[in-house]
Structure 1
């Protein structure tokens, strides 16, 4: 009996497996390129956080510089009599006899 070769006709589904798999992989990576943590939307979110944190840093640096200036006035080598007087009045609730004190609620604590 002679050997015969049987040719099979490729089915439609078999022809579409690789293109569908490629589309699925491409869709997966495309979705994450847009919506992933480091995608286009995530990048905008990160840039927004950077702007917020830079603004907060500027506020904190300004506060630090103000505090540093006030602390430098309290150092022994550069004591400022006005600063000592201000702190004593604030902490001890003292006034001179010839001064008028105006009391405001909540003022003077935690300053």
Structure 2
């Protein structure tokens, strides 16, 4: 009886061990620190970082254009006069004034 039990355990032990090892490695391949799910998460984070970098470059270009426009050679006196009159809500005598609605603000 003991010999049959020992033989039965010997027959089952090796396949069970290999099955458990296989399950362990498959689980780690999917859910582990270096698994497929972690890889997908890292790809998502990378895409978000790339989008943030693109937004930062766009904002940097906008500010670079604004700073370049502050150069005294780049300022157009007529545009400066027009913009200051719009911002101060003033006009000269003889100017044609076109009123805008509240939803159609010029600035």
TM-score category of the 2 structures, normalised to the smaller one: 0.5 to 0.7
Report which of the two has the higher share of helix: 2
What is the deviation of 1:29?
A: 1.9
Per-residue deviation, residues 68-93 of structure 1 (Å, max 9, x unmatched): 10122124x4451435753x456x44
Dislocated runs of 4+, deviation >6 Å: none
Aligned match for 1:36, one of 10, 32, 37: 32
5+ unaligned residues in a row in structure 1: which ranges?
1-7
Paired residues in the alignment total: 98
With structure 1 as the length reference, what TM-score do the two structures score? 0.58
Compared with structure 1, are the counterparts of its residues 12 and 31 closer, same or farther at alpha carbon in structure 2 (3 Å cutoff)?
Answer: same
5+ unaligned residues in a row in structure 2: which ranges?
none
Alignment root-mean-square deviation, CA: 3.2
**Larger RCO, structures 1/2 (Cα 8 Å, 6+ apart):** 2
